[in-house]
Amino acid sequence: IQRDRRGLFMGVRERRFTGGAEFAQRIEQLESGLNTAASPRAVRSRTSDLMSAFAIVRPVELSDPRKRSRLGLFARWDDFTLDDAAATAGSTDLIWAGIIWDLNQRASISLDYQQMQTRAGTPTVTTPTNTVFMHWVVTF
């Protein structure tokens, strides 16, 4: 059974601006049936695409590179498209945006907004999800 993954990522990493974009694809075969005379084994193919982009910006440092800032802004967008012959094909968008505050060189907190929604025309439309999160990261 085929289970292939492929993709391309391009990015920039620098303290003042970090960003990237990606295209990934999953190609797989799915089995159904019990592999008996009454319910023979059936194999079908499905291809799923993922497009993603993100950016982390330190606006104070962009305007004055000599001044180190604790403030950062970030955003991310994902678009997942499921191409499925079983009438469950659809597309889901995920959006993140938030603020990062560095407490020191090893600890940061962030407050972010996350939204997930399916696109119009998707057979399995779900209720949009809107969430606010607070995260903290400590490295040792």
> Given pLDDT bands bounded at 50, 70 and 90, which one contains residue 38?
confident
pLDDT in tens, 55-88: 999 999 998 888 889 999 999 999 988 776 554 5
Scored b (16 or more CB within 10 A) or e, 8-43 reads eeeeeeeebebbeeeeebbeeeeeeeeeeeeeeeee
Token pair for residue 92?
Answer: 């889901």
Alpha carbon distance 21, 50 (integer Å): 11
Does 137 score more than 90 pLDDT? yes
- Report percent pLDDT > 90 for the chain: 56
Percent with pLDDT over 70 in the chain: 91
Average pLDDT across the chain, whole number: 88
What are 37's two structure tokens? 């005379």
C-alpha 19/C-alpha 8 separation (Å) is 14
pLDDT beyond 90 at 1: no
